[in-house]
Amino acid sequence: METTQQAEHFDVVIVGAGLSGVGAGYHLKHKCPSKSFVLLEGRDCIGGTWDLFRYPGIRSDSDMFTLGYSFKPWTNPKSIADGPSILNYVRDTAAENGIDEKIRFRHKVKRASWSTPDARWTVEAERASGDGARETVRFTCNFLFMCSGYYRYEGGYTPEFLGRDDFKGEIVHPQKWPETLDYAGKRVVVIGSGATAVTLVPEMAKQAGHVTMLQRSPTYVVSRPGQDQLAIKLRKKLGDKIAYHMIRWRNVMFGMYFFQLARRQPAKVKKLILGGVRMALGPDYDVATHFNPHYNPWDQRLCLVPDGDLFQSIREKRASVVTSEIDRFTEKGIRLKDGSEIEADIIVTATGLVLQVLGGMEVAVDGSKVDFAKTLNYKGMMYSDVPNLASAFGYTNASWTLKCDLTCEYVCRLINYMDRHGYRECRPHNVDPTVAELPALSFTSGYVQRSIAKMPKQGSKRPWRLYQNYALDLVTLRFGKVDDGVMKYS
């Protein structure tokens, strides 16, 4: 692989051109207009998650008034939007603000190294050309902004299933959905109970012979209208912008209230959620087996179904739920540990993602490799003793973009503060011996627990603590001191 000798320099390098990366580009352009920046994207198009996933029914699992950008009102009638609509929204935002002109496609960032004497990062990316050739190119920057998401794009998580090779049908993972897959009239088993599974099942049931959602354990499932009628009325009376922000704040406050209620009165919230499921499926359905998790609400993320589409497909007998453990794959389908067998033509392994830190990029500071599992997360965006680097990481209990928007604003404040005072380096550093290390995420979900040991830690108090609270973060990140005594400038 040939390495380019001359590195291009930018004030800021953004890694990733998905929802977060385009948002970061917007904020930098409008709040740090004197700064040059570039977006490095490993794939060949804008969109990130919303371009990568192509499985049937791909959609948001939160409302678009909070998943949308703070600066660009969502005007589509659907508040729970499909993937193509979200992708168009991201691409329109990029085009309207000239962000698309700053993207370098097919540039997969592999490593970044910081030099304190030079006060700059050297970023190495593998660039792919149209003929399949690859070369390593280098960029330098004063600030590195990671918007590469939280999971591995190369492939999702699939457990080792005994007898997998015995199955005569097709096995697919939602992260690598084949465009030519024909499931019309066929028997489909979707393994999983998370957001992907509850999206796939009702959508595939429209054409498949029958779809079975096979889950080891249930998830909390909540129905919500696909369209927000109040938002539609307000939009007509007050215009897009005012209506958008009113509904955005209503949804934010309700989400915070519901989360806190679940934490303080889990039994009450559980009864409320299961009551909704019973109303949707009728008194004879075995809700206790198939929709009654063994954990409390919000110990894992809730699953949202627009207009109760999952429940409708079950009522109409086009789909069913089986709660049991898998013994092995067979020639005709899946045998369960109770001895029964589910026959299938297609098996979909909606078994989760593989989490990774900073897109799997190698990071070194002054020649020493950084082990992010040994760092503390500063304000949910930077890392102890790692200079001039931030990452966009959203909420686990609310829409991803809410936190990413605040992170982008804060990064711009930080860069402007450094310019005003002539600083070249900012480095979060903990000097408080009473700060205890805690896991970065408190979720019990499998995809979190499989990777939690590799993740940065959070601290027991500010600014190292992650509160998962938009209102608190809004005050702290938008109005709080940039020079807080913890961030060291030089």
Q: Alpha-carbon distance 208 to 205, whole Å? A: 5
Nearest by Cα to 379 from 304, 259, 453, 478: 478
| Domain 2-153+355-489 homologous superfamily, CATH | FAD/NAD(P)-binding domain (3.50.50.60)
> Residue 449 has what pLDDT?
66
210 within 8 A of 202, measured Cβ to Cβ: no
Instruction: Give residue for tokens 């934010």.
Output: 252
Confidence category of residue 260, pLDDT binned at 50, 70, 90: very high
> Residue 382 has what pLDDT?
95
Residues of the chain with CATH 3.50.50.60: 2-153+355-489, 164-349
> Residue 151 has what pLDDT?
85
Pairing of strands 326-329, 319-323: unpaired
157 within 8 A of 354, measured Cβ to Cβ: yes
Q: Alpha-carbon distance 376 to 432, whole Å? A: 12
Confidence category of residue 356, pLDDT binned at 50, 70, 90: confident
pLDDT digits (tens, 9 = 90+) for 26-57: 999 999 999 999 999 999 999 999 999 999 99
Confidence category of residue 157, pLDDT binned at 50, 70, 90: confident
| Domain 164-349 homologous superfamily, CATH | FAD/NAD(P)-binding domain (3.50.50.60)
Q: Torsion over CA of 13, 17, 20 and 25, rounded to 10 degrees?
A: 50
> Residue 447 has what pLDDT?
61
Name which residue leads in pLDDT, 204 or 399: 204
Q: At what angle do helices 470-479 and 240-264 cross, to 10 degrees?
A: 120
Q: Alpha-carbon distance 249 to 204, whole Å? A: 34
Does residue 453 carry a pLDDT above 70?
Answer: yes
351 within 8 A of 192, measured Cβ to Cβ: yes
CA dihedral for 449, 396, 437, 14, sign (positive or negative): positive
Give the gyration radius of the chain's Cα atoms.
Answer: 23
> Residue 1 has what pLDDT?
45
> Residue 150 has what pLDDT?
85
Does residue 398 carry a pLDDT above 70?
Answer: yes
Does residue 172 carry a pLDDT above 60?
Answer: yes
Per DSSP, 118 falls in state T
Pairing of strands 221-224, 303-306: parallel
Share of the chain above pLDDT 70, in %: 97
CA 307, distance to chain mean position in Å, is 23
Q: Alpha-carbon distance 171 to 197, whole Å? A: 15
Q: Which of 17-21, 397-401, 478-482 is predicted with the least confidence, judged by mean pLDDT?
A: 397-401
pLDDT digits (tens, 9 = 90+) for 89-123: 999 999 999 999 999 999 999 999 999 999 999 99
Supply 118's token pair: 């030079």
pLDDT digits (tens, 9 = 90+) for 265-295: 999 999 999 999 999 999 999 999 999 999 9
Structural element, H or E, at residue 104:
strand 103-104
pLDDT digits (tens, 9 = 90+) for 305-318: 999 999 999 999 99
Mean pLDDT of the chain: 92
pLDDT digits (tens, 9 = 90+) for 456-470: 898 999 999 988 889
Burial-class residue 339 by CB neighbours within 10 Å (0-12, 13-18, 19+).
exposed
Q: What is the mean pLDDT of residues 132-152?
A: 91
Nearest by Cα to 14 from 482, 358, 436, 279: 358
Q: Alpha-carbon distance 41 to 323, whole Å? A: 40
Query: Half-sphere exposure of residue 74, counting CA atoms within 13 Å on the CB side?
Result: 30
What pTM value is reported for the model? 0.92
> Residue 5 has what pLDDT?
59
Give the E-state strand segments of 291-440 in sequence order.
303-306, 319-323, 326-329, 333-336, 341-343, 346-349, 362-365, 368-369, 377-378, 382-383, 389-391, 426-428, 437-438
Does residue 156 carry a pLDDT above 90?
Answer: no
